[in-house]
Homo-oligomer: A and B are copies of this chain.
Amino acid sequence: MDSSLLSLSKNQMMKIELYLSERKLLIEQALERLIPKADGTFSDLIKAMRYSLFVGGKRVRPILCLAAAEALSQEKNLIETLLPTACALECIHTYSLIHDDLPAMDNDELRRGKPTNHKVHGEAAAILAGDGLLTYGFELLSNPENVLSAERRLKICHLIAQASGPTGMVGGQALDIANENKTFPFELLQTIHRSKTGALISCSIQVGAVAAGASTEQEKDLLRYGSLLGLAFQIVDDLLDATATTEQLGKTAGSDKKHGKATYPKYFGIEKTKDIALETVAAAKESLASFDHKAAPLREIADYIYSRTC
């Protein structure tokens, strides 16, 4: 496949980057509002939670959640209504990063260009900050002040618990850790990707769809888009870990190799991996064939993910 097919013009690039930065700001303002302040009895714990939550991050999952809802409906208050759900996704994602970085896990010292949580707050506080963020995610999802119907919120809660639990993200991380420095079939790499990273990304999109009242068919299409996008995201991450510098990444480059982790480039080499990323992004966009102009941000995000490899 000709990669120029998907390369973005300077204008397109500026447009999607503006969209992403506006959404990032919106989500960060909501997080600031919705996460407890570090000023009371539990201030040290909340400080540690806030450290990782506000140290940076692209806010991919909440942005995808909002974009999926908007692909279906542009009802005025939809975004406002969905912000606690979007923030919960970010809390749960951030907890997973804190725990993955722990000495007993990947033992990483840098994340988003800053020292990892346990390097700043100590190991016990980092474990608890992760536990706190995970639990607080479910507190946000089940908050009675949320105006979505109880049925929809409960379904959202269940989808997110499944995607982040023992057969989703936690399961994927366990497989990843258990298979460090081992040779294993490509199918296992796919399972690790799908569960460790893919599940929460595609769930973010599904949850946006559910909140906006998607039909079964629409939910299925968006879920397919989400699975392919999650895969593309992981492939690009593998590529960047192999090709970018620590400074560019904001986390220790070559970390996968250091831990003897299986990655797409390890199976296919850099060039073939780029091709696979491109095909995956194209397939993700095809899943949106029946959606109108409201799905433009979802299409552009897919292109943008690929553009990170160029």
When distances are taken between beta carbons in the complex, the residues of chain B under 8 Å from A144 are 154-155, 158
When distances are taken between beta carbons in the complex, the residues of chain B under 8 Å from A123 are 104
Whether, in the assembled complex, A143 has its beta carbon less than 8 Å from a beta carbon of chain B, the answer is yes
State the Cβ distance, A261 to closest chain B Cβ, in Å. 14
CA distance A167 to B41 in the complex (A): 8
Whether, in the assembled complex, A51 has its beta carbon less than 8 Å from a beta carbon of chain B, the answer is no
When distances are taken between beta carbons in the complex, the residues of chain B under 8 Å from A150 are 149-151, 153-154
Instruction: Judge whether B153 and A139 touch: CB under 8 Å.
Output: no
Residues 137-193 (chain A) with a chain B CB within 8 angstroms? 138-139, 141-144, 149-151, 153-155, 157-158, 161-162, 164-167, 170-171, 173-175, 177-178, 191
How many A residues face the partner with a CB closer than 8 A? 53
Whether, in the assembled complex, A132 has its beta carbon less than 8 Å from a beta carbon of chain B, the answer is yes
Instruction: Judge whether B49 and A166 touch: CB under 8 Å.
Output: yes
Whether, in the assembled complex, A44 has its beta carbon less than 8 Å from a beta carbon of chain B, the answer is yes
Instruction: Judge whether B135 and A161 touch: CB under 8 Å.
Output: yes
Decide: A166 near B41, CB < 8 A? Known: A123-B104, A125-B174, A151-B150: no
The listed residue (B45, B142, B151, B167) touching A161 by CB distance below 8 A is B142
Give A38-78 as 1s and 0s: 1 = Cβ < 8 Å from B's Cβ atoms: 00011011100100000000000000000000000000000
Give A103-122 as 1s and 0s: 1 = Cβ < 8 Å from B's Cβ atoms: 01100000000000000001
State the Cβ distance, A180 to closest chain B Cβ, in Å. 10
Residues 63-106 (chain A) with a chain B CB within 8 angstroms? 95, 99, 102, 104-105
The listed residue (B42, B151, B173) touching A128 by CB distance below 8 A is B173
Whether, in the assembled complex, A134 has its beta carbon less than 8 Å from a beta carbon of chain B, the answer is yes
When distances are taken between beta carbons in the complex, the residues of chain B under 8 Å from A122 are 104
Whether, in the assembled complex, A131 has its beta carbon less than 8 Å from a beta carbon of chain B, the answer is yes
Instruction: Judge whether B175 and A41 touch: CB under 8 Å.
Output: yes
Instruction: Judge whether B166 and A45 touch: CB under 8 Å.
Output: yes
Whether, in the assembled complex, A124 has its beta carbon less than 8 Å from a beta carbon of chain B, the answer is yes
Please, could you name 8 A-B residue pairs with CB atoms under 8 Å apart, sorted by A? Answer: A41-B175, A42-B195, A49-B166, A99-B127, A105-B127, A138-B165, A143-B158, A150-B153
